[in-house]
């Protein structure tokens, strides 16, 4: 463990044989703040006791795929956590990241700042957060219980004047995902694709990413 005396720069050899300079944040003795390798290959700060995916390799595949599937326009991200997806989405679009845990919001802002990225991190309950009217892209990564209230509100809004056109939904629980997708399709959205990611070998648990779009 490094002391808090100062930061250092490490030279990392890449596959091409070149040397990459990467600055590491020094640890403070007794500091409980956890770090993992984010989907962009850089350190990702978590809230103390915060959630991370089972493997860094699996998380990279999942998060990079979410970014690829998300349409290239301003996005609202609900259940943003410490910014695991935010630090990818914010590279090429405006993002409003909504998270209810205060420490996770602090970590998300630090992760964005460490990458010289900007996004609006809002400390709020995703279930009651009102999507700005111009929102066209929504990214969801809820806990196991899913996003029932959010999806019911979206479905109701889709029948009115909502401008929301695309949803990328990340789920760790197929039954609650099926419930929420059924709500959204009943509200005017079409299920465009569904992809699974094996995060927990030899178990029945998978991560799933679905994309939905609103029928005109």
Report H helices in 6-146.
56-69, 86-89, 102-114
**Alpha carbons 32 and 42: distance in angstroms, whole number:** 19
CA angle at 137 for the pair 135 and 143, rounded to the nearest 5°: 110
Report which secondary-structure segment, H or E, holds 185. Answer: helix 174-186
| Token digits of residue 173 | 């629980």
Tokens 């809820």: give the residue.
142
Catalytic residue among 19, 105, 151, 172: 172
- Cβ count near 184 (within 10 Å): 24
Q: Determine whether 172 is an active site residue.
A: yes
**Alpha carbons 149 and 141: distance in angstroms, whole number:** 14
Note the residue count of the chain.
216
| Token digits of residue 205 | 């648990």
Residues with a catalytic annotation lie at: 172
């Amino acid at each position: 463990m490094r002391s808090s005396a100062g930061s250092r720069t490490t030279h990392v050899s890449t596959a091409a044989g070149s040397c990459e300079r990467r600055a590491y944040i020094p640890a403070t003795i007794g500091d409980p703040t956890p770090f993992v390798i984010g989907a962009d290959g850089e350190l990702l700060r978590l809230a103390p006791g915060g959630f991370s995916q089972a493997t860094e390799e699996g998380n990279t595949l999942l998060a990079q795929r979410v970014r690829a599937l998300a349409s290239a326009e301003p996005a609202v991200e609900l259940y943003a956590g410490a910014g695991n997806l935010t630090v990818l989405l914010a590279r090429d679009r405006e993002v409003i990241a909504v998270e209810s845990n205060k420490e996770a919001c602090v970590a998300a802002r630090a992760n964005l700042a460490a990458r010289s990225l900007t996004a609006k991190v809002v400390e709020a309950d995703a279930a009651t957060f009102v999507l700005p009217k111009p929102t066209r892209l929504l990214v969801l990564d809820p806990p196991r219980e899913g996003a029932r209230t959010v999806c019911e509100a979206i479905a109701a809004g889709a029948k009115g004047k909502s401008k929301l056109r695309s949803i990328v939904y990340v789920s760790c629980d197929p039954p609650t995902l099926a419930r929420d997708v059924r709500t959204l399709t009943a509200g005017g959205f079409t299920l465009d694709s569904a992809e699974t990611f094996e995060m927990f070998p030899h178990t029945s648990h998978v991560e799933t990413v679905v994309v939905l779009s609103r029928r005109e």
